[in-house]
Amino acid sequence: MSGFSPDWLALREPADHRARDGFLTMALADRLQSKPIVRVVDLGCGTGSNIRATYAALGREQHWALVDYDARLLTAARVTLQTWADAATSEGDTLVLQKSSKTLIVTFRQANLVTDLDAALGHTCDLVTASALFDLCSQEFIAGFARAVADRRAVFYTVLTYNGIQEWTPRHDLDGSMADAFHAHQTTDKGFGLSAGPKAPWALAEAFRSCGYTVKEGDSPWLLSRSDQALVDELVPGFAGAVRETGKLNSAQIEGWLAQSRHGCEVGHTDTLALPPA
C-alpha cells in the first residue's frame, strides 16, 4: 500500500480538477486532438483522477494504461471509473468506457516506477501523463524518466506538482518556520531517493529541455476557502504531522500552530507540458 487512501484522493479531486491550468490543457489538446486514436500512460494513477480530468482534451478513441504500484488503488480506480462513465463494459481485464461521445479503452498495470519504469511506460505511447506525482520523485529519477519518455518520442503532461508556495488563512506567526520544516520533510526519500519536493517543476523542465523538448508551464494553485473546509481540515494535521517528524519545531510550537483555526489556504502547484521536436 502507498499511504494514499482512496478517501483522501476523492477529497482532493474537485480541488485538483479546478486548479489545473486551462491554457496548458488547451495546448495539449492542440498537439494531440488531431489523432483519431491516442495511446496514453498515466503514472501513479491512484483512483483515476487524471483520466477523469484529461480525457475531454483528447480525441474520440483513447487507449489508457493506468499504472500504480498500489493494487488497492488500481481496484478502486476500476470501480470509480465504471460509475463515472456513461456506459462501461469489461473485456477481460480491460474496461471499455463511453463518456461524452468518447471511447476510452482502459487497462491497469501494477508496477513500481522505480524498478519497472520501462514496463510501466510500455513500448510505444503518444502521451505520458501524471497528476500529483513528481514532487515525490528525486531529481535523478526525473532525469532518467525524461530520457525514457524521449526515447518513445511521447508528449509529456503532468499537473499539480507542488512548487513550495503555501499561504494559510488566517496567518500565524509560525507559518514561515512551519513551511521551512515542511519543505525539509518534502525532500526526504519517498521511495525514489531524496525527493525533489518543491524543486520538482524546475527539475522536470530542465530534464525535458536537455532531451530537446519544448517545455511550457502553468500555475495550478489550490485556492481553498470555507467551501473546501473538509479538505483544509485534513491538510492542517497532515502538514503538522510532517513537521513533527522533522524535529525542527518543538511540540509546544506545533500545538500552538494547530490551535489557530484555518478556513482557507493557497497551495502552489505547477503544470508542465513538454513537447518533443516535430
Ligand X SMILES: C[S@@+](CC[C@H](N)C(=O)[O-])C[C@H]1O[C@@H](n2cnc3c(N)ncnc32)[C@H](O)[C@@H]1O
Residues that bind ligand X (CB under 6 A): 2, 4, 9, 16, 44-46, 49-50, 68-70, 73, 112-114, 131-133, 136, 191
Complex with ligand X: residue 76 or 254, whichever CB lies closer: 76
| Least distance in angstroms from the C-beta of 270 to ligand X | 14
Residue whose CB is less far from ligand X, 50 or 62 = 50
Strand, helix or coil for residue 272: strand
Q: DSSP labels for 245-270?
A: HHTSS-HHHHHHHHHS---EEEEEEE
The answer to whether the beta carbons of residues 163 and 268 sit under 8 Å apart is yes
In the complex, minimum distance from the CB of residue 69 to ligand X, in angstroms, rounded to a whole number: 4
Strands 127-131 and 94-99: unpaired
Distance (Å) of CA 56 to CA 101, 116, 233: 10, 29, 31
Smallest gap from Cβ 72 to ligand X, in A, equals 9
Q: Which residues contact 26 (CB under 8 A, 6 or more apart)?
A: 57
Q: Which is nearer to ligand X, 175 or 219 (CB)?
A: 219
154 versus 195: smaller Cβ distance to ligand X = 195
Of 95 and 249, the one with the shorter C-beta distance to ligand X is 95
Please say which residue, 95 or 158, places its beta carbon nearer to ligand X.
158
Query: At closest approach, how far in Å is the CB of 277 from ligand X?
Result: 28
CA 109 – CA 43 distance, rounded (Å) = 10
Q: How far apart are CA 12 and CA 109, in angstroms?
A: 23
CB of 36 to ligand X, least distance (A): 26
Question: Which neighbouring-strand residues pair with 138?
Answer: 195
CA dist 148 and 48 (Å) reads: 23
Nearest distance, CB of residue 120 and ligand X, angstroms: 7
Query: What distance in Å separates the CA atoms of residue 17 and residue 21, rounded to the nearest whole number?
Result: 9
